[in-house]
Structure 1
Amino acid sequence: MRNPELIERPPAGPDPGPTRPANGSPVPGLVATGVLSVALLLALGWAMGGTQWLTHPGFRAWQTVCLAITVQALPFLVLGTLISGAVNAFVPAHVFSKMLPRNPALAVPVASAAGVVLPGCECASVPVAGSLIRRGVTPAAAFAFLLSAPAVNPIVLASTAVAFPGKPEMVAARLIASLATSAAMGWLWLKLGRSEWLRMPSRHTGHQHGHSRWEEFRLGFQHDFLHAGGFLVLGAMAAATFNVTVPRSVLDTFADSPWLSVLFLAALAIVLAVCSEADAFVAASLTGFSPTARLAFMVVGPMVDLKLIALQAGTFGRAFALRFSTVTALTAVTCTALTGWWLL
């Protein structure tokens, strides 16, 4: 098998083809996707009964949930794209090679542990990880950071401690299970990843002749924010649909089974797409479930959810997002079960 780490480095020359017009506007296909989604939604509502559906309580609830998810994630998406733009414009590529060990297998746990120092959620980690890869960081280390940053940063750990007062073992379990999952996924990509699964944006990175660094920062931020923001909205719409259509009585069906409860809350975390800074309070409210099941909700959610899958698909391609998200979910559930058995 070819070593993907040697293949995925960004080319030194000009882009093979632009992903956006020269004036820095967003990808036309993304705009078309958003317009088509809205048009289909309006057409469906009209077919269901004219404009009366706009005032239906179910649609109002869907609208509220969709808006809440988007507004909750938007500040962190802005944070991530600001960091991504700053990295592309101001940080020399050789800085990252000095920060991480040359051995990719050792760079993975170092990058995973580095997630502790960046306050942010999964919306911020995707553009940052993409920027790191474009700047020459091995993809395995970038993916380890992508998974750990939203799960083990100080804000998330502090919110977990507040949501579970008097239970430091829950904070420790979340930290250990999340670090184990992120490191395992980095090593798995290092061993099994293929370059054809990963589609990096062809936008040129670094300083370009004729552009000031601040202009490069502005164009990079504009491109990444508009590109990722469109997929964020699509993911929020899917999560809101689940919230409205699935009755709460379903929760009680799975709570009595130790193993089904873990799988159910892991799946629930994927579709609810709660921001990692707030998911501990949601998990704490699910008192009918076991501590391990609630731990699964907090470990899986920041690493795999609908909006994160959409963001990964928009940044790295659908082939990558489907494979990476599926394996991440299975790895996270396994690490959660082992950590819960050990600590909880």
Structure 2
Amino acid sequence: MAITKSAPDGAGPGEEPRHLSSPLLLTLVLLTAVVLQDPVRRALAAPVAQSWMTVFVAVVVQALPFLVLGVLLSAAIAVFVPPSFFARALPRRPALAVPVAGAAGAVLPGCECASVPVAGALVRRGVAPAAALTFLLSAPAINPIVLTATAVTFPDAPEMVLARFVASLLAACGMGWLWHRLGRADRLRPPARPSHGGGSRGAAFWGSVRHDVMHAGGFLVIGATAAATLKAVVPAQWLRAVADDPVLSVPALAFLAVLLSICSEADAFVAASLTQFSPTARLAFLVVGPMIDLKLFALQAGTFGRAFALRFAPATFVTAVAVSVLTGAVLL
């Protein structure tokens, strides 16, 4: 006796089972918003909601152009640059490749969002992870645009520019050497790219761009959402309470840099406005922010894996704060 399988719920015989597609989900969300437009309008008019939307849009608008720049560079590296180039450009020993990669971070005119996909491309092209991670940390903080913005923001304190350059480069190299000594390859898993075998280089380039924009852009939105939520609920008086404490002010501003998730091209303007804090505390703000914040954590988790980000982010935070304190004591 032949036994026939019953059709799945919602599907007739010979029909494919129905799934909730993205267009259908978007339509349902829009219809719900139309039906509930009055409560939604009242909720969005609240000061907390307006503050949340302002921070969210600011983070995304600041970061998205540089994220796209990083994606374009990442795709160009993956498609047009032969693997042998990196073998010739960097020393074979990872311990020596780390400072070279750190210094190379000065040539990328972008922020931290741009450096993450580029570092992922470098790892996929065979660059030592320690060198790629050093580049990831140094590029957002020591490139000419960031240093110029810092000089403009601190016109009467040129030592702040030097301190930012020195502290950022030392912290980046320190993390690179730390990964070289203690890092495990199974915790660094850059996502596989879609295969473009048989196609032209142009098709491969734009396919890689679409893949990385969709992948990294989603994590950028997650990080921006978290930053906006925390910014909207953290009381402003907390800053005033710790500004006068020389011990708490440094980790407080470092932690604030993580929460605010400001683009490295704009963070100097925020640091200059925090006049109630010491120069060393503001230096920690400038060094920590481009290396680890909420959106960066989300981007790093999406690019290299959550297991990597959960270990790399706290180590980066501690290293950046410690180097900032030492550099500030010497130069500020």
**TM-score, L = length of structure 1:** 0.85
For residue 330 of structure 1, give the secondary structure of its aligned residue in structure 2.
helix
Tell me the residue number matched to 1:266: 254
AA in 1 matched with 2:178: L
Q: How does 1:272-311 map to 2 (within 5 A)?
A: 272-311=260-299
Aligned pair 1:222/2:210, yes or no? yes
Aligned pair 1:338/2:326, yes or no? yes
Distance 1:158 1:129 in 2: 24
1:141-181: per-residue Cα shift (whole Å, max 9, x none)?
00000000000000000000011012111000000000000
1:54-105: per-residue Cα shift (whole Å, max 9, x none)?
2212112211110111001111001000000111111101001100001110
Tell me the residue number matched to 2:315: 327
Q: Judge which range, 195-204 or 120-129, deviates more.
A: 195-204
Aligned pair 1:59/2:31, yes or no? no
* 1:197 CA displacement: 1.2
* 1:52 CA displacement: 2.4
Distance 1:202 1:53 in 2: 41
Tell me the residue number matched to 2:74: 84
Structure with greater Cα Rg: 2
Aligned pair 1:233/2:221, yes or no? yes
Tell me the residue number matched to 1:213: 201
Distance 2:295 2:54 in 1: 16
5+ residue gaps, structure 1: 1-30
AA in 2 matched with 1:164: F
What is the root-mean-square deviation of aligned Cα atoms in Å? 1.9
Q: How does 1:1-344 map to 2 (within 5 A)?
A: 52-203=42-193, 208-344=196-332
Percent of pairs with identical residues: 62
Distance 2:143 2:164 in 1: 11
AA in 2 matched with 1:84: S
AA in 1 matched with 2:111: C
Distance 2:198 2:323 in 1: 49
Distance 2:124 2:143 in 1: 23
* 1:51 CA displacement: 5.2
**TM-score, L = length of structure 2:** 0.88
* 1:211 CA displacement: 0.8
- Do the aligned partners of 2:70 and 2:116 also contact (CA within 8 Å) in 1? yes
* 1:196 CA displacement: 2.0
For residue 227 of structure 2, give the secondary structure of its aligned residue in structure 1.
helix
AA in 1 matched with 2:299: L
* 1:322 CA displacement: 1.2
Distance 1:182 1:262 in 2: 19
Distance 2:192 2:229 in 1: 33
For residue 247 of structure 2, give the secondary structure of its aligned residue in structure 1.
helix
AA in 2 matched with 1:192: L
* 1:259 CA displacement: 1.7
Give the count of matched residue pairs.
Answer: 303
Distance 1:200 1:76 in 2: 20
AA in 1 matched with 2:151: A
* 1:343 CA displacement: 0.6
Distance 1:209 1:236 in 2: 35
1:315-336: per-residue Cα shift (whole Å, max 9, x none)?
1111101110100000000000
